[in-house]
Amino acid sequence: MPRKTDGIEIEIHPGPKKGEDGKPLLYVRPAKGHKKTFKELEEFCTKYRGLRTGEIGQVFDVLMEIASNWLSEGYRVETPLGSFAPKLKLLGDHTDPQTITGRDITYTGIDFIPNKDFFKKASRNREGYRKSQGVVGNSQMYNQQAMDAALKRCMTLGYATIPEFMIYSGLKRDSAKSYLDSLCEGDHPRLWRVKESRRFLYFPKKKG
C-alpha cells in the first residue's frame, strides 16, 4: 500500500500511562522539525500580502514589548489571534489561604488561548494526517538496542538523567521518564533511582 504523502505529518509516541495490555498508551504530535520560521513568515507576507520588508517584524517587536509589560503586571492580553494570560503556581502544599504570601507564588509561564475564528481556520485540515517517515518515539522505545545505546551514552558520569536520556533516545520528557522508571521496577531492576534537589539520578544496579 503506497505511503500517504499529503496531510499533516505526525509522530506517534508512548505516554506515561499504560493500557490494559500493560504497554504505554500512545499519543500523537506534529512531526519534529515540521515548522515555518519567522523569516519565512516575513518573506511570505512581503511577497504575497503587500507588506514592506521588516514591517511585520516591527509590529511584533512593539507587540512583544507592550504585551510582556502587561503580562508582568498580571493582566490578560487579548489579540486578534487569541488571549495571553500569566500562569502562576503555588510553591508547596497549602490548605489555609490566610498563610499564603507572595513568596509562596511563582510565575511559571504564559497560557495562550486561541480565539474561535483563529482556531477554526487553523484546524481546517482537508488532507488528513500521515505518519512521519522517520523513526517515531513508539517504535524506537521498543527497539531495545537503540534504548540500550542511548542509556550507555548517558552513563559517562556513572548515572543518567532524564534530560540527557531525552537527547540520546529522541523521546519526550514523559516517555523518557516512564522508560527509565520502568528499568527501576520488577524482580530484576537494571537501575535504581535517587532524587537530588529537583532532578532524578538513575544509577546502574550492581549485580550479585
pLDDT at position 135 is 45
Regions of the chain with pLDDT less than 50: 1, 135-136, 138-139
Nearest Cα neighbor of 78 from 111, 37, 45 is 111
Q: Candidates 1.20.120, 2.40.128, 1.10.10, 1.10.3470; correct CATH number of 8-32+132-204?
A: 1.10.10
pLDDT at position 2 is 52
Under a CB-based contact definition with an 8 Å cutoff, are residues 203 and 158 in contact?
Answer: yes
Q: Where would I find the beta strands (DSSP E) of the chain? A: 8-18, 24-30, 77-78, 82-90, 105-114, 129-131, 191-196, 199-204
- What residues have CB less than 8 Å from 17, skipping those under 6 apart? 24, 25
3-state secondary structure (DSSP) of residue 107: strand
pTM: 0.59
pLDDT at position 182 is 84
Which residues on neighbouring strands pair with residue 12, listed in sequence order?
Answer: 28
pLDDT at position 5 is 62
* Cell 519526550, located at residue: 172
pLDDT at position 142 is 54
Q: Angle at the Cα of 87 (from 63 to 26), degrees rounded to 5?
A: 105
pLDDT at position 137 is 52
23-72 tens-digit pLDDT: 777 878 887 677 899 999 999 999 999 999 999 999 999 999 999 999 99
Domain ranges of the chain: 8-32+132-204
